[in-house]
A and B are shown apart, each in its own frame.
Chain A
């Protein structure tokens, strides 16, 4: 592959905000004007990854390697996605050196990367014509104290939870907006059940981020579908409007009360949306703007071009019935300020 076809893209950050599933897939506009989803080629599996051989500050290197393996395995265990990984070995390559054909994970104290509030990030090298991911590096910030304790450890961040989130980016997923912060005493905490791909962590001591939600699994299954996933699931599609005009980048959440599955997607800049990967049956559909502490750039949307000025609204003018292998259209929602 020629180097000139490759570009560095998609900075996926997991942010910790003190006191603070919709899948969303990374996309790229090609030089031809096509929009393609970023993903690894099926020929790339098992995808090999390296672990930086520098001793982490908070636990032995071997425990870091085991935690990384466990995190990759979490995604590999998704039955409706055909993905496999293998540890290629330890390396002295840094996790932010690109075009070295090594997908590397490691800790860093580099002040350009380890910034306040940023726990970790994933950076990818892609083929700009096809959207194929050819390399992805993940760094974890040494500004924070980490733990690999299976039960979590107070005042430390769970390394596995954060690694699982970053590997979601590694695979081509963007942030999900399924989640919000709730007040607990004088603190704000991420609500239980939020998607692993929500841009903010569950906070110190929590290991909830080790467990994928249906929204997370749906995202990766759409990219690497297997096991009849696309045949067994369907889509809801419609338009979000305000005063008859499309609402750019509205967040649309579908809930199937028979399966308990909550899956969401974002509308495009015209307010048109399609939520894929939904199980058969009736769904409730609600629309909400991206809300504090998240912001449009957390999801790759422009700050100024994203409409945030409307109230949460529920689709209630018909039946949002999902049929396998089909798209149910006309699930339109008019929102108000």
Chain B
């Protein structure tokens, strides 16, 4: 893991500080398999399944459990930038935003069980780095990936004592990119990634380990 992180940091530093200077133009075979060192930038939209427990809070009359278990299609959007070291290996920087909707369920001493439906929303901002291993073949490049980052969850409306929760987050996944023959700098991509984090919004006695599947599609642009 430490080796992967070092590799990611090196790649990101390179992308950030010298991207323009290091574009390597190879006009003899643009877009062909085996083309080394290329910068890719992608925008994407999609949806995310959420599986996050708030825990249980209890008073004299009832126990309240809270969870986000919805699918927020249409609420996910983001940006990826990657630098290919070899035809197969690349480092990727990700920023994405999604939204969680939390519901409450009550177990009341007198009333019984009551599902309250959505009670509040939070915004989730993720940024981090991934290692991408690609299998380019013609215009298509399937890939697998894994990475680490920071997930920040912020309630949309104020909640006493909770301004923002930041957590270490991990993801693994894969996808496929399709590069057009003309123009060669344009492509489409579809991605599936599984996310986890070590903390999130919870009730005081709750522990949180949010997880969920990210499904996204987008457009990609590349420079040789």
Give chain A's interface residues, CB within 8 Å of chain B.
178-180, 191, 193-194, 232, 253, 255-260, 262, 279-282, 284, 286, 288, 311-314, 316, 319, 321, 323-324
Contacts and interface: CB of A to CB of B under 8 A. Distances in A.
Nearest to A193: B60
Contacts of B108: 286, 312, 314
B106 A282 contact: no
Contact of A258 (B110, B114, B117, B162): B162
B158 interface: yes
A242 to B, nearest CB: 16
A257 B203 contact: yes
Given A255-B57, A281-B120, A314-B106, 10 more contacts: A255-B61, A257-B54, A257-B104, A281-B158, A282-B157, A284-B104, A286-B61, A286-B108, A312-B61, A324-B158
Which 3 pairs across A and B sit closest by C-beta, in order of nearness?
A257-B57, A279-B160, A281-B159
A288 B62 CA distance: 13
28 contacts: A178-B60, A180-B60, A191-B60, A255-B61, A257-B54, A258-B57, A258-B161, A258-B203, A260-B57, A260-B203, A260-B204, A262-B59, A262-B60, A262-B61, A280-B158, A281-B120, A281-B159, A281-B162, A282-B157, A282-B159, A284-B106, A286-B108, A312-B108, A314-B111, A316-B114, A316-B117, A319-B119, A323-B158
Contacts of A314: 62, 106, 108, 111, 114, 116
Given A260-B57, A281-B159, A286 B104 contact: no
Contacts of B104: 257, 282, 284
Interface string B158-182: 1111100000000000000000000
B66 interface: yes
Given A194-B60, A257-B66, A286 B159 contact: no
B62 A286 contact: yes
Q: Which of B64, B155, B159, B160 is the most central at the interface, judged by chain A CB atoms within 10 Å of its CB?
A: B160
B118 interface: yes
Contacts of B118: 319
Nearest to B114: A314
Contacts of A312: 61, 108, 110-111
Interface string B41-84: 00000000000001001011110101000000000000000000
Given A255-B61, A258-B204, A286-B61, A280 B160 contact: yes
Nearest to B64: A257
Given A258-B204, A284-B104, A313-B111, A179 B159 contact: no
Contacts of B115: 316
Q: Which of A179, A232, A279, A282 is the most central at the interface, judged by chain B CB atoms within 10 Å of its CB?
A: A282
A253 B57 CA distance: 15
Contacts of A319: 118-120
For the complex, would chain A's binding face be called helix, strand, loop or mixed by DSSP majority?
A: loop
Contacts of A193: 59-60
Contact of B120 (A194, A282, A286): A282
Nearest to A192: B60
Given A316-B116, A321-B120, A258 B157 contact: no
A259 B120 contact: no
A192 B78 CA distance: 50
Contacts of B110: 288, 311-312
Contact of A179 (B60, B119, B155, B157): B60
A281 B119 CA distance: 9
A207 B205 CA distance: 25
Contacts of A281: 120, 155, 157-160, 162
Contacts of A257: 54, 57, 64, 66, 104, 203
Nearest to B110: A312
Q: Which of A191, A311, A312, A323 is the most central at the interface, judged by chain B CB atoms within 10 Å of its CB?
A: A312
Contacts of A194: 60
A322 to B, nearest CB: 8
B206 to A, nearest CB: 9
A284 B113 CA distance: 13
Q: Which of A257, A258, A282, A314 is the most central at the interface, judged by chain B CB atoms within 10 Å of its CB?
A: A257
Contacts of B60: 178-180, 191, 193-194, 262
Interface in B183-224: 203-204
Q: Which of B57, B120, B155 is the most central at the interface, judged by chain A CB atoms within 10 Å of its CB?
A: B57
A284 B204 contact: no
